[in-house]
Amino acid sequence: MAEDTKHGGHKNGRKGVLSGSSFFTWFMVIALLGVWTSVAVIWFELVDYEEVLAKAKDFRYNLSEVLQGKLGVYDADGDGDFDVEDAKVLLGK
């Protein structure tokens, strides 16, 4: 019984409510989420979407050309690309 009152009434020594450091931690997490959300909104307002989309499409086409160049050595039908017909020839089907 004396042990219970020594630790504030709980056997594990923890307080029954949120401690100050836990409240501060959650406050900081929510504050940082708010700050980064604001930064993201402002950044998206300033970015030119068309330019970003054009760069993404250009990157996709460049990647496709690079892959076609590497697979071009397996072009069995001579049409300049690697497609289903070339795969069928390579697999013997």
Among 2-6, 8-12, 51-55, 62-66, the minimum mean pLDDT is found in: 2-6
Q: How far apart are CA 79 and CA 37, in angstroms?
A: 50
Q: For residues 15 and 9, is the Cβ–Cβ distance under 8 A?
A: no
Q: Look at 63 and 31; give whichever has higher pLDDT.
A: 31
Distances (CA, A) of 40 to 44, 48, 68, 89: 6, 14, 37, 50
Do 34 and 75 have their domain in common? no
Q: For the chain, how many structural domains are there in total?
A: 2
Do 42 and 52 have their domain in common? no
Do 53 and 66 have their domain in common? yes
Full-prediction pTM beyond 0.85?
A: no
Residue 27 domain boundaries: 1-47
Q: How far apart are CA 1 and CA 3, in angstroms?
A: 5
